[in-house]
Each structure stands twice: as C-alpha cells, then as structure tokens.
Amino acid sequence: MTEDRITLKRPDDWHLHLRDGAMMEGVLPHSANHFARAIIMPNLVPPVVTGADAIRYRDRILGALPEGAVFEPLMTLYLTQETDPADVRNAAESGLVKAVKLYPAGATTNSASGVHNFDGVRAVFETMAEIGLPLCVHGEVTRPEVDIFDREAIFIDEVLDPIRRATPGLRVVMEHITTSEAAAYASEGGSDLAATITVQHLMLDRNDMLVGGIRPHFYCLPILKRGTHRPALIKAATGGNPSFFLGTDSAPHATDTKENACGCAGCFTAPVALSCLAEVFDEAGALDRLEGFVSLNGPKYYGLPVNHEQITLERGAPIQFPEAIETDAGAVTVFNPDRPVHWRVL
C-alpha cells in the first residue's frame, strides 16, 4: 500500500435497496461493480415476506445481472405480524435467507406491512435467537408526537433494548445508525449486536440538507441529524471496533419523485460509496481501517467468508460525480456530497 493507493479485499454492502423490474436492472450493475455481496432489503410492493417470495426475488436479481458480473444477493425476509417462525427457520437453514428485517409499521418507504405489536412477533425472535439468524432493525419509533430527529434515540430505550433483554441470544444489526446514542449503544452490545452506517450519515448533517435551500437528494430516513452526532459516527466507523460496518442503504428513487412537493426518502449512493468512504477515512487518518469497515467486519458478524478478490482505490484530482444514471424507470440522481472527493476505484 503506498500513500496514494489502497488495496482492499472486495467489499460487501450490508444494507442495499435494489427494487425490482426496470429500476433494479438500472441500479444493480452499479452495486455489482464494486461489491461482491449485499444484504438485499425486502421492502418491495408487495414486500418479500416468505421464503418462497425470497427465492423468486433472488432469481429476478440474478436474472438481471449483466453478463460476466459476479454478485451474490443475500436475501432477507420482511417481518410482518403474520410471519411464520417455521418458514423463517426453513429459509435460513436452506441458506437462502441471511437476515430478517424489522420495519416498525409506518417508519419509512413501504413499511406499512411492518410490525406494530412487537410482543406479537416474539415467537419469530425466539426462533431467530435459537438458529442465530440476525434481525436487521430500522430503529425509529413511529408515534406521531415524537419529533423526527428523536425517533432513533427513543427507539433504543423503548423498543430495542426491551426486545434484546426479552430474547437473550437474539443477534441484532442496528441499521443505518445516525446518532451518538446509537453508536454508544452498539459499541457496548457485545458480539450479538452490530450496527451499519451509511455514506451520507458519515459525510453530512442536517445543515447540509436544509441551510441555503432544501436538498431533496440528501433526504433519507433516518433523517440526517444535528452536526454533533457526525463525529460519533465517524469515530465508530473508523475506530476499529468490529461491531460497525458498511451498509450503504443506497435507495434509488426516480429523480422526479425526490424533486417533488412530497419527495421520497433515500440517497442513491451505490456508484460513489467507496470513493466517498475512502475520503472520510483519509480525513480521519484511518485509511488502514477502511478494509475492516467495508470488507472484514460484516462477513465476520454474518458468519460468512471474507471475499478473495481485491479492489484498489487511488487518490488524485477530485473525481467527477456522475449527475444521474438512466434507467427504464426514469433517471436516478447520484449522491453528491458537494465537496471534493479524491479517491476513485480503479
């Protein structure tokens, strides 16, 4: 490794929205370009609820891969009030499904079928604890009176901690953490608890989204927080604790549905995620820890092998961000943090 070049084991993305149909065909190559595997979010319409749904969705993803691309979709099931623990067990034991996703009902995009009574899904949690299947959690309370900026911190105390205490051995991934409270909780949770962090939450805060005009392409859920939280996230990502790893939450929406009077939540970061992360780690003086965050910690938590292949990034003049990608479901604006990023993937 020289100063301006860094070679890593090929990364994985532990939280990715690929969608379906024409949108999936358009965005999938951008993940397959850089990532060997990804945990695929199940919030389609209708959602991916059963093992049979996951088989069909996996086959559609594999069928949409460009010729020669090597990419393994790691499937998840969308937890509903009706989820059958036996189906979860079968889907996990067959190797098909790598996690179950918990969306509190109403928390985010396509979460209407999510969970509103956490006690009512206890049997699923118990089966998951028994077989070691991780629960990926969108950690936000949805009570309308709770301020959107407080929803994550309150979820930890009101929902997540009680679930973990009631179900010892349940393996949990706190998805896309955005607050110092979540970083602190995840760092003290032992080997059953992990957290993913996105590119946008490492690079931006709510001022970037709201000062000097509203930036719809920075709007995602959980929403960008007060700037004081960002250093805690950077410290978590770059600090070498194996409980933290990359989940981009790359979430494509057609540009016109984001630049809209009621815009959709989600940042499409897949094409530029690694460049942006290298910049963040470089600024933190922690380039030597980038591989842990993007390539080693995730497989370790999920009990999967590290990838054999490698990827190299090079530092040079600021990269040109593509403005958008074209898909048959419309153009999708590519995340651009609006500051120089010097690392490109070779």
Binding site for ligand DOR (CB under 6 A): 17, 43, 108-109, 138, 220-221, 251, 265-266
CA-nearest of 75, 60, 71, 79 to 20 is: 60
Q: Which is nearer to ligand DOR, 236 or 251 (CB)?
A: 251
| 266 interface partner picked from Zn ion, ligand DOR, none, CB below 5 to 8 A per type | ligand DOR
Q: Is the peptide bond before 222 cis (omega within 30 degrees of 0)?
A: yes
Reading the block at residue 317, the tokens are: 């003049």
> With contact defined as beta carbons under 8 Å apart, do 235 and 183 qualify?
yes
CB of 38 to ligand DOR, least distance (A): 14
CB of 84 to Zn ion, least distance (A): 24
Q: Which residue is nearest to Zn ion (CB)?
A: 249
CB of 14 to ligand DOR, least distance (A): 14
> With contact defined as beta carbons under 8 Å apart, do 17 and 327 qualify?
no
CB of 44 to ligand DOR, least distance (A): 9
| 241 interface partner picked from ligand DOR, Zn ion, none, CB below 5 to 8 A per type | none
Q: Which is nearer to Zn ion, 9 or 201 (CB)?
A: 201
Buried b (16+ CB within 10 A) or exposed e, 113-130: bbbeebeebeebbbbbbe
Q: Which is nearer to Zn ion, 101 or 344 (CB)?
A: 101
| 109 interface partner picked from ligand DOR, Zn ion, none, CB below 5 to 8 A per type | ligand DOR
Q: Which is nearer to Zn ion, 183 or 220 (CB)?
A: 220
Judging by DSSP bridges, how do beta strands 330-333 and 97-102 pair with one another? unpaired
CB of 101 to ligand DOR, least distance (A): 10
Q: What angle do CA 240, 187, 273 make, to 5 degrees?
A: 55
Q: Catalytic residue at 249?
A: yes
Size of the chain, expressed as the number of residues it contains: 346
CB of 20 to Zn ion, least distance (A): 15
What residues make contact with Zn ion under the rule CB under 5 A? 249
> With contact defined as beta carbons under 8 Å apart, do 295 and 245 qualify?
no
Which residue in the list 53, 87, 205, 249 is annotated as catalytic?
249
d(CA 247, CA 243): 12
CA-nearest of 304, 306, 303 to 292 is: 306
Q: Which is nearer to ligand DOR, 174 or 296 (CB)?
A: 174
Q: Which is nearer to ligand DOR, 43 or 336 (CB)?
A: 43
> With contact defined as beta carbons under 8 Å apart, do 264 and 257 qualify?
yes
DSSP 57: H
Buried b (16+ CB within 10 A) or exposed e, 76-112: bbbbbeebebebbbebbeeebbbbbbbbbeebbbbbe
Catalytic residue set: 249
